[in-house]
Amino acid sequence: MQVSSQDAVSLRRRFGPTVLRLIVLAAVAWWVVQRADFAAFGTVLARLPVLIGLTALAIAMVNMVLAGFRWRALMLAFGARNLPPVPTLVRLFLIGQFYNTFVPGSVGGDVVRGAVSRTCFESGTASYAVVISERLLGLSALGLIFLFGFALGPQIVDLREFWPWIAVVIGLAVGVLVAGRLGHRLARIWAQIPRIVAPRGVVTALAISILGHGLTLVIFWLLAKGLQLPISFAAIALIVPLGLVASIVPIAIAGIGPREAALVGLLGLIGIARESALALSLTFAVVLIALAAIGGVLQLGWGLRLETTSGETVGVQETPASADEANRPD
């Protein structure tokens, strides 16, 4: 049986990304575990008290509640006409965590949340602008925390070596902004971006992002103490933001992959053994997977309904395959 070129293209498009992620994950796993002492790895994991693990999960749940408040603040900033109650947004954020964790690409939950909340805005693109702004604010907050860690934590790199790369990144950002202002096609796209009508909401969202990432550092610190790893809070503030940025790369499976490679490498620079660093990273991954599992249960029980303050219920029961389906009333 011969496969036509069209079928071959279809198969590559369907399975290519998954195969690529499996290859990358296998490469990361090989790099992480090479020369690792698995007996020592099991010994490190056995040190973690159950109470500390449950405390870390409880703090992560608080983070989900904060994420609901942040989402609402940004919706207000972008002019949402009918704000949903915070418990509804927290439920949808947990469901988004499920999709971000278990759907390839690490952004499925963001797409779902953007689609479900479209009816809260006059512009159909505003809900997605809110979700994108959440990501950007989160990166900004991580940057501020990294500066704190860089000032107080151990000196693991010479910042002077990174100035050329930092200059390139800044130059690219400036180039995109200039092109967006001067180029005709990009200017039309720029004009379609929803405007912020309540800047205070953005400031509130940034403050919540900083607080939320601070709680994430507390989770890592608790897990490190539970695993009896000699890591200071300042070192965690320096290293963890870099690991979390690595986790944004959309090649992870169940949220595991680039973050583990980054954390194992960075923690090794301050003398943490490979198996100990891997144990810390994987215990944090278990906390995130537990949150995603809670989101999956909420998805089964409530679906993707969004209750607004006016009593209106909008959304879908399953993953929105299109904008029309996402806006269909229950």
pLDDT digits (tens, 9 = 90+) for 192-227: 667 788 888 889 999 999 999 999 999 999 999 999
Q: For residues 285 and 219, is the Cβ–Cβ distance under 8 A?
A: no
* 16-21: average pLDDT: 57
* 266-292: average pLDDT: 88
Per the model's pLDDT, the better-predicted residue between 22 and 144 turns out to be: 144
d(CA 120, CA 74): 12
Task: Report residue 7's pLDDT band, with 50, 70 and 90 as the boundaries.
Answer: low
pLDDT of residue 215: 96
pLDDT of residue 310: 52
Instruction: Note the helical H segments in the chain.
Output: 5-33, 38-46, 50-77, 86-102, 108-116, 126-152, 163-182, 184-192, 199-226, 233-246, 258-268, 274-302, 323-326
Beta strands 304-307; 313-316: pairing state: antiparallel
Q: Looking at residue 4, what DSSP letter applies?
A: P
Q: For residues 284 and 101, is the Cβ–Cβ distance under 8 A?
A: no
Q: The whole model's pTM is what? A: 0.74
